[in-house]
Amino acid sequence: MIQIKFAERLRELREAAGLRKCNLARMIHVSPPAISQWESDWCRPSFDTLAILAEIFHTTTDYLIGVSNERSRI
């Protein structure tokens, strides 16, 4: 369940930020297919990458993985 929320939330945040998969991939030093795999619920990023994604999207890792529904960091 948490992994599915991550996939949905990553796609939602990326699209809201107006980022293409290739742009986000460049920002975090991964391949565009890695972004596709995360968004299709095929696999998950490392903890380090998850923290970077939270920073990029100004949210928490808890929100990204579905533990919390509060998007904003305090």
Contacts of 44 (CB under 8 A, 6+ apart): 3, 6, 38, 50
pLDDT band at 1 (very low <50, low <70, confident <90, very high): low
Residue 19 has pLDDT above 80, yes or no: yes
Which position has the higher pLDDT, 72 or 30? 30
pLDDT digits (tens, 9 = 90+) for 23-70: 999 999 999 999 999 999 999 999 999 999 999 999 999 999 999 888
Residue 12 has pLDDT above 60, yes or no: yes
Nearest CA among 29, 59, 63 for reference residue 46 = 29
- pTM for the structure as a whole: 0.89
